[in-house]
Amino acid sequence: MVSSQTLSFLFPAEVSGIFDAPKKAMIIRLRWPVVIICSYLLLFSTEGWLDPVAAYALLFYMLSNTALYLVDEELFSSAYFYTPLVIFDTLFIAATMALSRQATTEFYLGYFLTIILCSLCRDFRGLIIIALLAPLVHGYLLFKSAEVYDPSTYLRLPLPFVMAIFYGYFAQLENFERSLKEKAEQEARNMAMVHSLSQALTRSLDTRQILQTLREKIHQVLPAAKLYVFVVDEGSRASHALLFDIGKEETSAPRAVSLQDFSIVAESLASGEPVFSRSAQLASVVSEGQGAAGGLSFAAAMAIPIAFRGESYGAILLGFDETQLSLSPRENEYGKIAAFATAIALSQSKREEQIQRHVRGITALHEINLATTSTLDLPAVLEILVQKIEPLLPRAAVTAVRMINRETGRLEAAAFRNMTRGEWTKGIPEGGRGTRYPECFRKHGLVSYLGVPLVAKGEVLGDICIFTREERPFTNGEVKFFSTLAGQAAIAIHNAQLFEDIKQQAVELERANRYGLSLSLLMIDIDNFKLVNDMLGHPQGDAVLKIIAKLIKKAVRAIDLVGRYGGEEFFVMLPETGGGDDPLNTAGAPMVAERIRKTVDDEFRGLQKPLNLTVSVGVVCRRFPEDRAMDHRELIRLVDVELYRAKTAGKNRVCVFRPEGATSAP
């Protein structure tokens, strides 16, 4: 006996390939067996010569099938053509059986029953089964009621098989075309749904508005479903996303979650296909205003990925209770379409947001550049900086600019936005790093942090601290932008600090002029300092700078002004310098310079290269009243010349400017 597996292999249910052949050829080929079997019945069922009417009918039928070769192919695609053709063939077959005088009532019943069964078959496999069973059953009944040797019995057996194939083809052709039409209509409905959803979802470029529209559209089809949307942020890790609970009228604030806690969502994102699960137990989610966490538990859940053009934007999570443990094909398809339309909307929203962010960034950089270069007042520069940063951040974000105290080397907050100095100082009594005091920031609702260093000419001046009141990962683009902004701001801050130093020098110079006092300026450069950064790294170089700064301060008086001038240069302004019996009243400055040089030399002597450091010092002394016309710019120019001479003369020495043009190197 033939097994069902063998039958399924030989005669699959879906045989659309049969209908890929031209209809004209298939119809003509199927009609020839009908012509042959009808001829067989007419020729061998009568004794003597063939009746003229039967002969003319048979000839007409053969010529009609031959004439079909001349008919245009497109005509066979019309139901208005092959339907009358089938009716004509049916009448001709019935007439043939009548003329053969061999048909009985049972034969007609079997014949038309075969036609009806073939017309009702839904697939090709059923048609083949009927075509095989019809002649067997009919033959069995015939042999029970007729003599075995009766030749008319054998004439009737092939007819049911031929009829089953002939009418079955037209029935299956009709079913096939109907299914194609239904698929086309379904595709049209799907496209209409996509168009409708896309229109509704793309009316706004705001993510929350898009999700609100999605909730309305989903609830039109699945009113009882609980709806959550996971949005994967471009700056987050692949295992994290923002969770929106949009099942309510108002979308709550998103929560940063780990996709590892939502296995069904992670599986859907990994496979790119919808995933359906029963008895879904997922991670807990804290709604806004709730004090405790409530776990997500559904009788059934479905995760649908939100993807467009190969880029994943997240997933839709639908939760169901016991009343809906499965989705109909229409609901399932609608969920996919909704996810696809949402992906299009989020793609446009993301692209628009990127463009707007880029425009705002360029505008902000330009405004900060103009504003910070319009003044050299350091507090004003810092205030302008935090003022221009504020519109680029989420609502109520806290911005703080911290500067390194050049006296103590510690970070101290200098400018704020959305937090007072008192709140900052009270929360961070030591003025230390921004992440050392989580309780302070938790108290003010600050949950996300970004710190960007302020670096100018290789020197770290401080940092910009940004805190947000919502959990949000900063994207790579945002980090890059704020780093660029910080670099530009650092130059303005560095210039303002230099201006402050020069202004202090001017104050000392004015004081010297007013009271007839001498004034000296030392310019100190660390010899071969570049090797320290190149071989040991900038952190080690910064440590060396701090050590030398401390050595310089120990070597001078409390009233002397010490400051950084460039990467590895320091300046020292010595008010009221004098040498007692020195006629030029300049002996004090060279002595201080030599003391500094020797202190540094002793500190680093014996260390391996590149830490065997020395310094070169240039000295300029302003005498009173002879050099009354020498202002601070001239002092800086002259001391820079002396420093250059000390470097070119072999380094690790002091060179002093003298009016006669000679220099000495103590």
DSSP symbols for 253-281: PPEEEEGGG-HHHHHHHHHTS-EEEEEEE
* Predicted local confidence at residue 21, as pLDDT: 59
CA-to-CA distance for 370 and 388, rounded, in angstroms? 11
Q: Pick the more confident residue, 472 or 11.
A: 472
| Whole-number Å distance between alpha carbons of 464 and 481 | 13
Q: Would you place residue 290 in the very low, low, confident or very high pLDDT band (cuts 50, 70, 90)?
A: very low
Q: What is the pLDDT of residue 185?
A: 81
Which residue type does 263 have?
S
Residue 647's pLDDT band (boundaries 50, 70, 90)? very high
pLDDT at residue 559 in the model: 80
Q: What is the pLDDT of residue 300?
A: 80
Most confident of 8-17, 116-125, 197-206, 471-480: 471-480
Residue 432 is predicted with a pLDDT of 44
Spatial contact of 618 and 643, defined as CB atoms under 8 Å apart = yes
- Per-residue pLDDT tens over the stretch 28-63: 777 777 777 777 766 666 665 667 777 777 788 788
Report residue 478's pLDDT band, with 50, 70 and 90 as the boundaries: confident
Give yes or no for residue 308 having a pLDDT over 60: yes
Tell me which residue of 359, 414, 367, 418 sits closest to 388, measured CA to CA: 367
* pLDDT, tens digit (0-9, with 9 covering 90-100), for 431-465: 444 445 566 666 777 777 888 888 876 778 888 88
Q: What is the mean pLDDT of residues 272-279?
A: 81
The two domains 202-354 and 375-492 share their CATH topology (first three levels equal): yes
**Listed residue (464, 252, 264, 229) closest to 349, CA to CA:** 229
**How many CB atoms lie under 10 A from the CB of residue 202?**
17
Residue 638 has pLDDT above 90, yes or no: no
Q: Which fold has domain 202-354?
A: Beta-Lactamase (3.30.450)
Encoded tokens for 329 = 């094909």
Cα–Cα distance list, 23 to 11, 61, 63, 67, 174 (Å): 20, 19, 19, 15, 12
Quote the pLDDT of residue 151.
Answer: 58
Single out the residue of 412, 215, 400 nearest to residue 317, CA to CA.
Answer: 215
pLDDT(345) > 50 = yes
Residue 66 has pLDDT above 80, yes or no: yes
Number of C-beta neighbours around residue 495 at 10 A = 17
Given a cut of 60, is residue 526 above it in pLDDT? yes
How high is the pLDDT of residue 616? 95
Strand partners, 204: none
pLDDT band at 1 (very low <50, low <70, confident <90, very high): very low
What strands lie across the sheet with 459-468, from one edge to the other? 411-417, 398-404, 459-468, 448-456
Local confidence band at 238 (pLDDT 50, 70, 90 cut-offs) = low
Mean pLDDT of the chain: 73
Task: Name the pLDDT band for 602 (thresholds 50, 70, 90).
Answer: very high
- pLDDT at position 123 is 58
pLDDT digits (tens, 9 = 90+) for 348-358: 777 877 787 77
Give the gyration radius of the chain's Cα atoms.
47
Per domain, the residue ranges of the chain are: 4-182, 202-354, 375-492, 516-664
CATH of range 516-664; options 1.10.1060.10, 3.30.70.1880, 3.40.50.720, 3.30.70.270? 3.30.70.270
The pLDDT of residue 302 is: 84
Ranked by mean pLDDT, the top range of 97-101, 310-314, 543-547, 563-567 is 543-547
Task: Tell me what percent of the residues of the chain surpass a pLDDT of 70.
Answer: 63
pLDDT at residue 652 tops 90: yes
**Is the predicted pLDDT of residue 371 greater than 60, yes or no?**
yes
Residue-level pLDDT at 583: 44
3 state DSSP class of 322:
coil
Q: Over 50: is that where the pLDDT of 286 sits?
A: no
Contacts of 371 (CB under 8 A, 6+ apart): 384, 388
pLDDT top residue among 367 and 533: 533
Q: Does domain 375-492 have CATH number 3.30.450.40?
A: yes
**Alpha carbon separation from 489 to 29, 94, 279, 400, 635 (Å, rounded):** 86, 99, 55, 13, 29
Q: Return the percent helix, strand and coil in the chain, to nearest 5.
A: 55, 20, 25
pTM of the model: 0.45
Confidence label for 663 from pLDDT (cuts 50, 70 and 90): very low
Which pLDDT value is given to residue 666? 46
With beta carbons less than 8 A apart as the criterion, state whether 569 and 545 touch. no
**The pLDDT value given to residue 551:** 92
Tell me the pLDDT band of 194, cut-offs 50, 70 and 90. Answer: low
Q: Catalytic residue numbers?
A: 568
- Helix or strand holding residue 478 (H, E): helix 476-515
